[in-house]
Structure 1
Amino acid sequence: MPAFAETRELVRNYLAARVPLVVIRSIELNRCLSLIASVAAEFKTMPFYLQSRTEGLKQLPSGQQVSDDTSLAAAMEYATSLFRRTEYVNFAFTDIEDLMDESSTSRHLAELARLAETKAGTVIIVSDKPVWSGLGRLGMSAELDLPNEEELLTEITSMVDAHRAQVQISWQRDELRQAASTLLGVTQTEATNVIATMLARGSLAQEDLTKLSEHKDRIFGELAGLERVKLRDDYRVGGLRNLRNWLRKKSELMRADFSGLAIKPPKGVLLVGVPGCGKSLSAKTIAQDWGLPLYRLDMSAILGMYVGQSEGRLKEALETADRVAPCVLWIDEIEKALSGSNDGGTSRRLVGQFLYWLQESTSKVFMVATANDISALPPELTRKGRFDEIFFVDLPDRSDREEILRLYFTSKARFDLPPDLCARLLDATEGFSGAEIDAVVNDIALSMFNNHQSAMYDDETVLSFFENTIPFSQSNPEDLAEIRAWGSSRAVPAGTAPVLPSFDGGAGRRIVLV
């Protein structure tokens, strides 16, 4: 999208060409008013008038009030009168309702634009919504997007530098750049309010950079189709070493400055595999480790009953994700929303909308999509290049299970496993997922609490909790075999690269991502 200078140049060219109607689309009225005032100052020989709800009609650049009547009707009547007798006049109208469809207001403005054309005049409309096609076709349009990183950097630097004598500030060029990157997606007014609030505390320290995302989240509040996930400090994933090493390198790229380069930030990762093996937990851990907010895209809230409604909601949610970037965007069980076959083509349109966003988005939104029913995934979603990588999350091997057992016994039962009991538990948990180990250890901890027992049970009792549990791998061996067959040839192992069975029953392949 164009920055302020580019939009200003476009509007200036429209006015120089005497286009009878110019529609400026933006959610930032103040920036639009600054743009119009700047252009008006350049065309000094042409009269400029600006209408607003609160101040009525006034001249630019003097700001002199034209009439005590501040109504839209009075402003349009004055414009009609002036267009009939004067050439090269410009009228800008702001915050007008009922322009999206044919209405008395939109028809009146259309007639005003036709009248302006006869006298080389121009009607400028500032709106945050599309205008009626019968009106829009009479002229040209321009879109003033939210401030880009360079504009935010200029604004933030100006504010911070102005307070260096009064406020203890440790931010330098790199910190200011990071602040601008974090605040991408908010309006200029919102950005200045955030920085002003932080300056009002009397200091700007290095650790304050992490608070910018919190301020940004307060600005957006309840987001369309997005749910802010509250993070805890104790998120930890056992095993999945290959995935964790890969993510460590991506974290550096999420903090890198790509301004001026034709490089897109990391897109994200698709995690497929056995249920209960840490896919969803990985999304939370990534956000926690990287110090980024986590948003969950609720596909059930996206789906609507009317044609086009679901696609519109998904588009709005993804655009909102772009605005709250940098962030981690989590889509749990993505196949449930994108795999329908008898939904009138809705799922296919959703897939198209989603893939288009993956391809075109340049914001720092790191996608973590998870899937259990991998057979339902549309093939175009798993094509190379859609995600940065597709990882297969298998049942934890012996080494991973040891890490998981020690993690949960320490955090839940507050007990350090001795080597002999740990060895026996590793044998007993063959085929267990991480979630199943978590559930059993939680049962042990609950039982200890209920019995007011401060010391760990004896080894045989601890083993009995696991021996009385039937894991998914035993209750659903056919499903497990199918899942592993898919992962053997289509994804990179998230763990320590176990040998997975191939479709023909062979030994499969061993992949290690370094």
Structure 2
Amino acid sequence: MSDTREFKTNLTLYLKARVPFISIRSAERSRVLEIFREVAASLSNAPIFVHTLSQGTKELLTNRSANEDRSVVGAIDFASQQISQRQNLSFILTEVADIEDDTPFARQLQDTVMLAAEHGGVVIVVTTKPVWGQLQRLGMSLTLSSPTEDEMREIIHEQIEAYRSQLPIEWDESDEKQAAAILTGISRIEAENIIATLLATGGIKKADLVELMHAKDRIFADISGIERVQVRGAELNVGGLGGLKSWLDRERPLLTADLRERGIRPPRGVLLVGVPGCGKSLSAKAIAHNWSLPLYRLDLSTIHGQYLGQSEGRLKDALSTADHVSPCVLWIDEIEKGLAGATQGANDGGTSTRLVGQFLYWLQEARARVFVVATANDVSKLPPELLRRGRFDELFFVDLPTPEERKEIINIYAMRGLKQELPSALMQELVEASDGFAGSDLESAVREVVKEAYLHGDNAVTSDLFRRSFQNVVPLSKTSPEQIENIRAWGRERAVPASGIPIGGTEIQVRPRRTVLA
């Protein structure tokens, strides 16, 4: 049974039982009232009135004005008067405020609800916020979630089916399913507006599926909690990491597939640990670009607040936003910095521990198509719970690039900045000279050559210039070899090599994906 049908069934039962107070959590007022009209038609002996600030109080089915006082207080007074005089009346308040805590208005509403309990009346509140505990305990609560994937497919089908004989519509059943998967998380009216905008262009093409992601992204562009990252494809060619790339190619079709019948969830994400400067953060951007998905960044270090519960609330809002903008890639850079307090015994009243628990619960239980790419440099600060099976789909170790990977990385930056490949002999010399270099070290060395080419012309680029530029780089593997070896030792025991090649070994196969039952 779909969420909407379940909501409608429970609402009908509560109205028949004359539960004196019903709170409905939803941001879709028009959709809630539409369901109420359907229910009211089957309960002809129970009049239902609805109040809005723009129109006052009206009878729901006939739209007849019952009280012209548009204020919420006036609506409460009118409801109290009518309930005390007549039996089985129901009043819907769509724009209430100040009912989260013990306020004078919440007390007034409580008095009206107690009066309704004596006369068979019902007071319904439609809100997006919690309700004061003493008031809520007088009745029941319902939540009308955004349309499910199946409901969204019905909405899309209804929108475009009427135009198939008038406009070129390229979408078939599988395209409608994919469109529903993309738009899940937004309201019915938002989905209808997006489809109507596509139809206004004169038809719907296969390529419009990508436009759906952009349209959905624009809806949530100003929502706080996570930061939208603009991805420029020309800068996202990642060298090496063959094992990671193969794994991602295999997982990509599963992100938007309907896997419910198989009992598994969509890919949840990867944790990339390893040597600093070897392409972990760049990989997050490359995944979003290659998968044609919006990229959002969650900075855990900025969500900590000074008041009790503030940090947890900020994290909850951020993760909820990620669920709504799905399908997307959520990039969490240096995740150990935001969660380190839980492993170091931070004197923060247990906030860090609660944040870890909240994040891990979302990571394991949420079903939205959010692919998490988390990166970490200091593996000693990672909470042990983060590494347990069932959290991330895979844990990859990003090591210093191999000779073949260094060659590929140097060539990428040379082609980007100089528009030409290097001679084979020079390339081999640079590969040997860059032993122990991270990807960022290679980029830095080639960038110095590109600067000289810009300042003095391409003729200034010589083999000696390349040699000097590479000799001037002192990599982390030379300044802190113990740190690198400790990271490598950790990776050998706990992670899959992102390059597909073990340290000092030959190419291996990535182990099978960790399948997690839904």
1:154 equivalent in structure 2: 154
2:298 equivalent in structure 1: 297
Letter in 1 for 2:509: V
Counterpart check, 1:442 vs 2:443: no
Q: In the alignment, which of 390, 393, 399 is matched to residue 388 of structure 1?
A: 393
Counterpart check, 1:178 vs 2:178: yes
Q: In the alignment, which of 356, 359, 364 is matched to residue 359 of structure 1?
A: 364
Deviation at 1:346, TM superposition (A): 1.8
Q: Is there any run of 5+ residues in structure 2 with no aligned partner, and where?
A: 512-518
Letter in 1 for 2:423: P
Q: What aligned pairs does 1:257-336 form with structure 2 within 5 A after superposition?
A: 257-336=258-337
Deviation at 1:12, TM superposition (A): 0.8
Q: Is there any run of 5+ residues in structure 1 with no aligned partner, and where?
A: 501-506
Counterpart check, 1:513 vs 2:510: yes
- Other structure's SS at 1:406 match: helix
- Other structure's SS at 1:236 match: coil
Q: In the alignment, which of 386, 395, 405 is matched to residue 400 of structure 1?
A: 405
Deviation at 1:203, TM superposition (A): 1.8
Cα distance between partner residues in 1 of 2:289 and 2:56: 50
Q: Do the aligned partners of 1:225 and 1:301 also contact (CA within 8 Å) in 2?
A: no
Letter in 2 for 1:127: T
Give the TM-score, by structure 1 length: 0.95
Cα distance between partner residues in 2 of 1:446 and 1:201: 45
Deviation at 1:510, TM superposition (A): 8.0
Letter in 2 for 1:190: E
Deviation at 1:63, TM superposition (A): 1.2
Deviation at 1:162, TM superposition (A): 1.6
Letter in 2 for 1:373: D
Q: Do the aligned partners of 2:323 and 2:368 also contact (CA within 8 Å) in 1?
A: yes
Q: In the alignment, which of 313, 328, 352 is matched to residue 347 of structure 1?
A: 352
Q: Do the aligned partners of 1:492 and 1:512 also contact (CA within 8 Å) in 2?
A: no
2:491 equivalent in structure 1: 487
String of CA shifts for 1:415-461, please: whole Å, max 9, x gaps.
Answer: 2112111111111111111111011111100011111x224633222
Counterpart check, 1:371 vs 2:376: yes
Q: Do the aligned partners of 2:40 and 2:48 also contact (CA within 8 Å) in 1?
A: yes
Cα distance between partner residues in 2 of 1:15 and 1:326: 37
Deviation at 1:317, TM superposition (A): 0.4
Q: 1:114 to 1:406 in 2, by over 3 A?
A: same
- Other structure's SS at 1:32 match: helix
Give the TM-score, by structure 2 length: 0.95
String of CA shifts for 1:100-155, please: whole Å, max 9, x gaps.
Answer: 11222211111111111112221111111111112111111111111111111111
Letter in 1 for 2:242: R
Aligned length: 506
String of CA shifts for 1:261-315, please: whole Å, max 9, x gaps.
Answer: 5321111000000001110000000010001001010223312122211111111
Cα distance between partner residues in 2 of 1:291 and 1:32: 34
Letter in 1 for 2:255: M
After alignment, is 320-329 or 74-83 more displaced? 74-83
1:66 equivalent in structure 2: 66
**RMSD after superposition:** 1.7
Q: Do the aligned partners of 1:492 and 1:511 also contact (CA within 8 Å) in 2?
A: no
String of CA shifts for 1:327-374, please: whole Å, max 9, x gaps.
Answer: 000000000010123241221111001100011101110000000001
Counterpart check, 1:35 vs 2:32: no
Q: In the alignment, which of 422, 427, 430 is matched to residue 425 of structure 1?
A: 430
- Other structure's SS at 2:233 match: coil
Q: Do the aligned partners of 1:396 and 1:434 also contact (CA within 8 Å) in 2?
A: yes
Q: Do the aligned partners of 1:493 and 1:512 also contact (CA within 8 Å) in 2?
A: no
1:503 equivalent in structure 2: none
Deviation at 1:498, TM superposition (A): 2.4
Counterpart check, 1:413 vs 2:414: no
Q: 1:392 to 1:347 in 2, by over 3 A?
A: same
Q: Do the aligned partners of 2:256 and 2:369 also contact (CA within 8 Å) in 1?
A: no
- Other structure's SS at 2:306 match: coil
2:514 equivalent in structure 1: none
Letter in 2 for 1:442: R
String of CA shifts for 1:445-504, please: whole Å, max 9, x gaps.
Answer: 0011111x224633222112101211111011111111111111010101132236xxxx
Counterpart check, 1:217 vs 2:212: no
Cα distance between partner residues in 2 of 1:260 and 1:63: 44
2:244 equivalent in structure 1: 243
Letter in 1 for 2:410: L
